[in-house]
Structure 1
Amino acid sequence: MTPEPQSSVPAGAPAPSPARPGRERHPRRGRYGARRGRHGTRRGQYGVHLFLAAVSLVFAAPLLLAVHASLRPYEETARHGYLSWPKKLSFAYYHEAYTSSGMGRHFLNTLVIAVPAVVVTLFLAAFVAFAVARLRLRGGLALLMFFTAGNLLPPQVLVTPLYVLFLRIDLPWWMSDSMSLYDSYWAVVVVNIGFQLGFCVFVLAQFMRTLPQDILEAAVVDGAGVWTRFWRITLPLCRPALAALATLEFTWIYNDFLWALVFLSDPDKLPVTSALNNLRGQFFTDHNLLAAGSILVALPTILVFLLLQRHFVAGLTLGAGKG
């Protein structure tokens, strides 16, 4: 009799599963036999990085050209062109732009307008978004559509009605020198809040819908009221979204020039974007000086983005992989 072959599997161990018929997995091939080459993957990554670098350079070219022009004398660029190699670099234009245009006063005016507008807009938008997204509110979807539709109306259409309305709204002397809403910071703040509120409500409502409902249900079981659920639970979880919106809103309100030009008649109350107009001469404009002023005006928004960059990126990416 022929002896039976002894199994190498120890006693008590599960028997190995039989080999399934099909294609064998090659160590350098994928699931269906497609060859996975390291060189091909690296070439694809290099191509993507090269494309992104080229696009970034195209978008950054105007800023780099403005910085290059602001450091050179106008006579040199007029003789050799803006794309020529510089022979002399200095920060003289930055000092001249800051002092000759009264930029310090206009910077303060911009902060007086932008900071309250951003804070009040986010505060009111968080209230509405919480009611729409986290509470069982009747007509919540219609309310969200109403706030979103407010951004679809062109602001130029409302310039004349708002101008007439603000002239007829009286304010006490301690709130406005003109004794009306017109020619006061309140007019620019209010109109910015009205136009930015709809966008913030839409973004915060969509972000709050991604938060787990179990947290609020547990808070309700513990006896938490609506204010506690909003202020102590929901609002801290929305910190990335609030930081991202704060960065965008500050940039938009900071760069706005239309509303201040329409509702402010006193030149001393105009924001910093109007200070660039003071650098333009009647018969001659030094474009290098104007470029230096533009760089100075852009610095606060760049600083805000750098300070809130981590929260800004987290607010844009958080929830991207959820249902």
Structure 2
Amino acid sequence: MFPTPIEKTSRSWQISYQIILPIVLIIWLLPLIAVAMFSIKPDSDFANGNYWGLPSSFEFFSNYGKVFFESNMPRYLLNSVFITIPTVIGAVALSAMAGFALGVYKFKGNLLIFFMFIAGNFVPFQILMVPVRDLTISMGLYDTVQGLVLFHIAFQTGFCTLFMRNFIKALPFPLIEAARVEGVAEWRIFLYVVLPLMKPALAALAVLIFTFIWNDYFWAVVLTQGPNAQPVTAGITEFNSQYRAAYHLMSAGSIVAALPPVAMFFLMQKHFIAGLTLGAVK
């Protein structure tokens, strides 16, 4: 049923694996390598068809200097921070409480509410584009950071609750029963008994949601316009003009936009892996 570990295969297959793996990895990284190369090339290299060759001149400081000091990129980055951080905090906090309620308490309609959270994850976001946009306009939240934050919290809470509820369901229930016997209030049980046990799940979920929201492009374009509220993913299009696109600056901006989620993953890698694999081995 399960694949054979590479250590237990034949020597010839192990050698083939060691040769094929770097090749596949390089092919997978080719788009990122191309973007990184273009970010240090002059604009003329693209016009001359120099896609994969060495740069005709090294323009690292020039390109990245224009991105940071001659464009609205710092504002877009700041917007992304103001959108992503509150969304992560709000979605994780709400889902932790909802997951606790659905995982611990038995009441009529528990499964129905849980299935509603699950069903929300299967709704294609594209079909909600027009009603969500009209709703934000009618509420005065169109082209605002607050509108994007509220929207993302609402849409991410379903997945987060599914994640949290299943994690809490796997916790040892006798701990909660023992706390109740001691007369501990329910909110104290959540804060001082359940929440400390959820730290790996909270960290893993925070990394996932941070990545989802920071890299979002679709809703950033639908619900915002201009540098007042647009995040960095949509702001990169500022380097497009009517008749030409500054691909070298777009590449530099893309590299800058990709750094925060990558840094977030490496900083939280230990907790992220622990959260995803907790309970996998008994």
TM-score (norm 2): 0.88
Matched, 1:132 2:123: no
Matched, 1:282 2:252: no
Distance 1:43-1:216 versus aligned 2 partners, 3 A rule: farther
Q: Which has the higher helix share?
A: 2
| Cα distance in 2, alignment partners of residues 39 and 186 from structure 1 | 54
How much has 1:166 moved relative to structure 2?
A: 2.8
| Cα distance in 2, alignment partners of residues 188 and 39 from structure 1 | 50
Matched, 1:251 2:221: no
**Does the Cα contact within 8 Å between 2:99 and 2:161 map onto a contact in 1?**
yes
SS of 1:285 mapped into structure 2 = coil
| Identical residues among aligned pairs (%) | 37
- For residue 305 of structure 1, the aligned residue among 239, 243, 265 is 265
SS of 2:201 mapped into structure 1 = helix
| Cα distance in 1, alignment partners of residues 220 and 200 from structure 2 | 30
Q: Give the paired residue count.
A: 275
- For residue 168 of structure 1, the aligned residue among 119, 138, 158 is 138
Q: Runs ≥4 in structure 1, deviation > 6 angstroms?
A: none
Matched, 1:110 2:80: yes
2:30 counterpart residue number: 61
* Greater relative contact order (Cα < 8 A, sep 6+): 2
Matched, 1:262 2:232: no
How much has 1:149 moved relative to structure 2?
A: 0.6
How much has 1:155 moved relative to structure 2?
A: 1.6
Letter in 2 for 1:104: P
- For residue 128 of structure 2, the aligned residue among 155, 158, 169 is 158
Distance 1:94-1:164 versus aligned 2 partners, 3 A rule: same
Q: How does 1:164-313 map to 2 (within 5 A)?
A: 164-169=134-139, 180-313=140-273
SS of 2:228 mapped into structure 1 = helix
Give the CA RMSD over aligned residues.
2.3
SS of 1:152 mapped into structure 2 = coil
How much has 1:116 moved relative to structure 2?
A: 0.9
Question: Deviation string for 1:298-318 (max 9, x for gaps)?
Answer: 111111111111111111211
Distance 1:77-1:261 versus aligned 2 partners, 3 A rule: closer
| Cα distance in 2, alignment partners of residues 54 and 228 from structure 1 | 53
**Does the Cα contact within 8 Å between 2:204 and 2:276 map onto a contact in 1?**
yes
How much has 1:286 moved relative to structure 2?
A: 2.8
Letter in 1 for 2:29: A
| Cα distance in 1, alignment partners of residues 66 and 247 from structure 2 | 13
Structure 1, gaps ≥5 residues long: 1-37, 170-179
2:3 counterpart residue number: none
Question: Deviation string for 1:81-108 (max 9, x for gaps)?
Answer: 2222345434121111222321111111
1:34 counterpart residue number: none
Matched, 1:142 2:121: no
Distance 1:46-1:242 versus aligned 2 partners, 3 A rule: farther
Distance 1:150-1:105 versus aligned 2 partners, 3 A rule: same
Distance 1:54-1:191 versus aligned 2 partners, 3 A rule: same
**Does the Cα contact within 8 Å between 1:121 and 1:196 map onto a contact in 2?**
yes
